[in-house]
Every structure is written in C-alpha cells, then in structure tokens.
Amino acid sequence: METWPGNAYPLGATYDGSGTNFALYSEAAERVELCLFDETGAEQRIELRDVDAFIWHCYLPDVLPGQRYGFRVHGTYDPVEGQRANPNKLLLDPYAKATCGSYDWGQSLFSYDFGDPDSRNDEDSAAQSMLGVVVNPFFEWAGDRHPRTPYSQSVIYEAHVKGLTQLNEEIPEAQRGTYAGLAHPATIDHLHRLGVTAIELMPVHQFIQDSTLLDRGLRNYWGYNTIGYFAPHGSYSATGDTGQQVQEFKSMVRTLHEAGIEVILDVVYNHTAEGNHLGPTLSFKGIDNEAYYRLEQDDKRYYTDYTGTGNTLNVQHPHVLQLIMDSLRYWVTEMHVDGFRFDLASALARGLYDVDRLSTFFELVQQDPVVSQVKLIAEPWDVGPGGYQVGNFPPQWTEWNGKYRDTVRDFWRGEPSTLGEFASRITGSSDLYEHSGRRPVASVNFVTAHDGFTLRDLVSYNEKHNEANGEDGNDGESHNRSWNSGAEGDTDDPDVLRLRARQQRNFLATLLLSQGVPMLSHGDELGRTQHGNNNGYAQDNELSWVHWDAADEPLIEFTSALIRLRSEHPVFRRSRFLDGHPVRRGEDEPLSDVMWLSPSGEEMQPEDWDADLARTIGVFYNGHGIRERDSRGRAVVDVNFLLCFNADADDVDFTLPPAEYAEQWEVVIDTAGERADAIPRLPGSVQTLAARSLMVLRAYEGPEAEPDLSVSASLAALSGAAVEDADAEEQP
C-alpha cells in the first residue's frame, strides 16, 4: 500500500476526502505499527516511520471511510516501572471516531497469565478486540444551530438512550433503544409535552461490557466504562457499528435542535475501562501506560484510584489534557452537542493528591473559545479523600447540588431541624455559590438521578432491594433518605398509595419551583419503578427501562403544568439571589423580595428556625423584586407568590399574610388535591395545609390580569385527579 509521511496533527484517523491521515501519541514506543483489517479479519501491518514530538504518523491515500484499524506498540514491558508495551496486544486508537466489534473476553486481552500477575502473556489479541473505524466527517447540518437556552430558562431531563426508548411501542422496533429512537417524533412529543429544554444523555462515548458482569448474566447498562472518547457507542445505533453511528448521532442532534431541545452529554474523563493492574490491555495501557494513568510512585505496577473503578486518568500529563480537550471540542464542533456533565469531576481537579480549584484542567476550559461557551456541569465529588467539593468549582461551572437532594429528601420525610437548610436550598443555595460570584443557576437541583431510587421508589421503600445485582446487597447506597409511606414496596393499601402519590407531587413541585436549574430523571414523571433497586448499573433489562404502557398520566400532566408555571413566572427562575432587600411598588409600602413566614403568618424569628419539631414554613416571593430585564431592556415584573410547605404528619392551620402582600390569594397548587380551586382567599384568613403537602398561592388581581389561568386551573384539577387515581390499584 502506498504510504506518505502524513502529519502529526490532528491525532487519530482523519479522512480528508482523498485519503486518511493516521497519528498516535506514544512516548513509550520504540516502534509503532498501524494495522488495517478487511471484513474477513485479515490484517495488514504498516510501520509508522515518521515521528514528531513522540507522535507517530503516516498518510494513506488509498484508505477510505469504513476502513477498520488498530495499533501495535513495541517497547519496554516492565510493569514495576509502569511500562506495559506489548506488540502482541492490538490497541484501540484513543482518537477513534467510530468502532466496530466488541471484546471477546479471554486470556489474549491480558498481558499476564491468569493466576500469575507477574508473568507476561504474548497471545495475540486481534481476533478478540474492538477495532477503530475511519469515518466520513461530512454531514449536511442544514443550518443547524445550538439552541443556547439560558440556564435560568433550562429544565434538564436526564435520560438513557436505550432505557428511554426500548419499550416505547410508538417507535418502530428497529429504532427502539437507539439514537434514531431518541429522535423519533414519539420521543420528542413527550419531551415537548413536559416542556423540558435539554436532554442530558447518560454516557454515549464508546464503552465496553465488563467480563465480571457477563459471567453473571448481566450487562453494563449505565455506560460508565469508557474506552473511546470520540466514538458514539455502537450498540445504540440502528444502523449498526459500521461507522454509520456517527451520522445517526448527528441526525439525532439535528432533529432535537429543530425541536428546540439541547443535547448534553454525561462524560467520563476520570477513568477508563482498562481497570487496575489486573485489568486488560485494550488501548491506553499498551500505548503509554505511565502517561495516561496515575500510578503509585513506590510501585508503578499499581494504579492510584480516586474513582472506585481501578484507575484514574493522569490529568497532570499534557497529552492527557490534550485528549480531553480535543474530545470536548470534537463533540461541540463536529457533533454539535450543547454541553457536558462531568462524572466524578473532582478527579479532574486533583493535583498530586488534593482537589485544586485552580487546576490546569479548569484553566484550559476557561480559556478555550469553544468549550467555555457550552454548558459545563460538574458532579462535584469523587471517592478519594477530600473529594466532596459541592460549591467549590470555578465560577464558569454549574454543579449537581447533592446537598439540595439530601435536604429536600430529609424535609419531606419529616426529619427534624431541617427548615434552615431547606430554605437555603430551595432559594438557590447562596451559601454554596454566591461567594465565588456565581448565581442561583450554578445549582443544578435534583431529587433523583440514575444513581439511586427512582422518585416512585423513593416514597415506596425504606431499604434498597438489589438482589438482582448478585452482590449480596453490598452494592448501592444504604442511606437513601427515603420513606416508604407506611409499607415497604408493593401494596394495595389505598391510604399508603394516596400518600405516595402526594409525596411524589411534593417532590416534583419543590424541585420545579426552586431557584436554580431543575433536573428530572427520566421516567419519574411516569411513575417509573425499579422495585427498590437503587443501583441499576447492570440491569440492561425491563427492570431499568421505562414502561410507557404503565405511565401515570395524571402525574405526567401535573409535571407538565408545573414546568409551564415555572416558564411563565420568572419569580421561580431568578438569575440573581434573593437578599431580602425592600422593593417598592408604586405608592405602596416596600416589601422585601423574599419573606419567610411561620404558620402564624408572621415573619420567622430565630427561635422558629431552630425548633426541632418545626416542619412547616411559608416563603413569600415578591414578583416586583426580580431586578432583571427582558430582551428588549424592559424591567421584568411578576405577581406575588406564597409557597407553604408542610412536612408534618398532621394538618396545620396557616394564616395568610396581610393585605400589603396581596389583596386576595388564589390557590394554584395543592399537592393534597383537596382544596385547589380558583376561589380567592382573603388576607389574614386561615388556610388549612393538609399533612405532608405543599400549597402554592398567587396574588389574585382579577381574571383580566391573569393571562395564564389555564395553568392554574390545570394544576388545581390535576392535583385532585392524581388523588382520585391513587385509589386505584398500584400499576405494575
């Protein structure tokens, strides 16, 4: 085959319309061979003779898209010194834009003989390995543009490509569980019905199946086991893993953008699928082990593990940082995604040991003209010492607010002494974010996510039930801050079912009316259950998939109406923190932008906050205290709202605030479903809050001043409908 020198940049396999340039970084290599495979598996080896700054490269004018390939790296094999080069192991290109095949787990994929970790195994692994595929980068985007929805207007929907679509019978069978299924009108119609603005996809970077799970008849479902940071996961493609998955992914993004929905990727740059010193040699280990991974300095056979997966990527190395940044830019510029959620992001910020808010990774992101302009969401913890860093990421970042999740769960299950922190969490967590110059939108609020109970299970189980995982209950979080509402798991007790339905509405209403950016976990609005399994990482089956035929329709409508209410009233999605400053409206006496009220209708006093058994609180939002302007520069104003939270096991009488707050009040939401109506309430009147319920009241100024009464009526009716529905037997 004709071979030209090629270029050291860009890395990976790059087709330019005439041929393909190949480039691989390896400082550990003494020789590198590019291996081309035909459809029969026959291999042709081409030695890369041109090297610039440890980048081995060539250009092959005869290689077109669809070509399958890998690398063999010759060099020193001395694990004690951190060197694991072995040319008998075919290696996947870290920059492969697509892959084909899968790993057939066996001895050949490992560099040692089973049972003897200190030995060297020289079996050839090509026949059992995943291959890279040269892709055609050209695609008709048809004027596609990023929606660029402001954080303050965003509602994020965390979803799994397969789990969301696999059981949706409105999607053609061949497209279920795929990128094409996600772009199908049935999926988009549901997202539109809810009103979400962004879908956050669980890992779609190419990942692999764990041999330990396969041996137990399970599969890696979540996908936090990345081997290729540029390639869309092949098995999520309706067209198969032939390289066409790239085109299918792009089509999905284009279609979602046409629907006004952003695409955010959950990315795993903290570790790879190669595991610890007993893991396989698939790519990075054999290319340049010491560069790509953090190694224990006293014995470099072993890997530093801040992730709980066996290894941690070495983000102190410039070529690892380049890999991450090149990958991020690729997914924005070539695949048109709108942002990233960084799994175990604290691991990316570690220096030698500690998490460093000013680490090189953050500096690179800050100055990058592409990556800095998209949504950046941190999971602000890892499993290493000092890894819990909620509130400590740089100003440009938003964070999964784990403290919000924990506090809201504790409040609604009736834990004592939660009022103070609950108040902080639902108003944007200024104690966590204001000191770094960030705003309420820095807090990505969530009650549930993929990791843990679903919303329905959160109110149905006290304990995890992970028997299906085959780990004797040792996996998954044991402290779930959940409450089963009076019976563990399935029940036909109508009182328990009614309470569970109410608690789900409490959580949803709290989440969607809190300051910050709300994130829903897919299927929570449908009443999805995993029957108490809080760690479905290995359950690629109907336990984890969304059952569309068992959807809780009243709960869907309730969720949708809440999102509309949030969208129509900027008082629930402020871009600045509430600070209690007085706001004047015309000639009236000024009112604070926020006021915390006790059940007596009076402002909370210090002793009220500290009362152990206090579980009821009201918050007044001044619609004239937003201090923002719309796109035309006009001051943004809203009506006043009063939110009354009662997590007590008994009904509580709540005195509505005096006339200066509102001439009359209208109940917009009553999660108990018993008193939601359009009848105005007078100031100073007593409103009974049902046990464990949330009531939202709006200043009533007459029908002619209320353009969105339909939302109020919808929420009122749905609250009652959901209670009536709870009398039916629990759905499977």
> What is the per-residue pLDDT across 193-222, written as a single tens digit (0 to 9) for each?
999 999 999 999 999 999 999 999 999 999
- Give the model's pLDDT for residue 587: 64
607 vs 535, more confident: 535
Query: Given a cut of 60, is residue 113 above it in pLDDT?
Result: yes
Query: Given a cut of 80, is residue 329 above it in pLDDT?
Result: yes
State how far the alpha carbon of 278 is from the alpha carbons of 212, 273, 339, in Å: 13, 12, 34
> What is the per-residue pLDDT across 142-169, written as a single tens digit (0 to 9) for each?
999 999 999 999 999 999 999 999 999 9
- Give the model's pLDDT for residue 349: 86
Q: Which residue has the tokens 């490992």?
A: 110
Is 379 tagged catalytic? Answer: yes
- Give the model's pLDDT for residue 583: 82
Residue 594 three-state SS: strand
Question: Choosing from 379, 421, 557, 725, which is the catalytic residue?
Answer: 379
> What is the per-residue pLDDT across 440-461, written as a single tens digit (0 to 9) for each?
999 999 999 999 999 999 999 9
Mean pLDDT, to the nearest integer, of 63-92? Answer: 98
- Rounded to whole angstroms, the Cα distance separating 118 from 79 reads 9
Tell me which of 128-137, 409-418, 465-474, 721-730 is least confident.
721-730
Query: Given a cut of 90, is residue 707 above it in pLDDT?
Result: no
Which domains are present in the chain?
Answer: 154-267+309-572 (3.20.20.80), 594-699 (2.60.40.1180)
- Give the model's pLDDT for residue 354: 75
Percent over 70 (pLDDT), the chain: 94
- Selection from 336, 139, 143 nearest residue 247 by Cα: 139
- Give the model's pLDDT for residue 732: 32
Query: Given a cut of 50, is residue 709 above it in pLDDT?
Result: no
As given in the structure block, the two tokens for residue 273 are: 């699928």
Mean pLDDT, to the nearest integer, of 632-652? Answer: 91
- Selection from 582, 643, 662, 593 nearest residue 622 by Cα: 593
**Where residue 729 falls among pLDDT bands split at 50, 70, 90?**
very low
Question: Choosing from 266, 343, 557, 670, which is the catalytic residue?
Answer: 343
> What is the per-residue pLDDT across 583-597, written as a single tens digit (0 to 9) for each?
877 667 789 999 999
Those residues whose C-beta lies under 8 Å from the C-beta of residue 10, and which sit 6 or more positions away, are 21, 23, 95, 326
Query: Given a cut of 80, is residue 675 above it in pLDDT?
Result: no
- Rounded to whole angstroms, the Cα distance separating 223 from 244 reads 20
**Where residue 64 falls among pLDDT bands split at 50, 70, 90?**
very high
As given in the structure block, the two tokens for residue 164 are: 């969301």
**Where residue 678 falls among pLDDT bands split at 50, 70, 90?**
low
Within 10 A of 652 (CB to CB), how many other CB atoms are there? 17
- Give the model's pLDDT for residue 676: 53
CB 69 within 8 A of CB 13: yes
Report the chain's mean pLDDT, rounded to a whole number.
93
CB 58 within 8 A of CB 15: no
Query: Given a cut of 90, is residue 103 above it in pLDDT?
Result: yes
> What is the per-residue pLDDT across 482-533, written as a single tens digit (0 to 9) for each?
999 999 999 999 999 999 999 999 999 999 999 999 999 999 999 999 999 9
Query: Given a cut of 90, is residue 581 above it in pLDDT?
Result: no
- Give the model's pLDDT for residue 703: 58
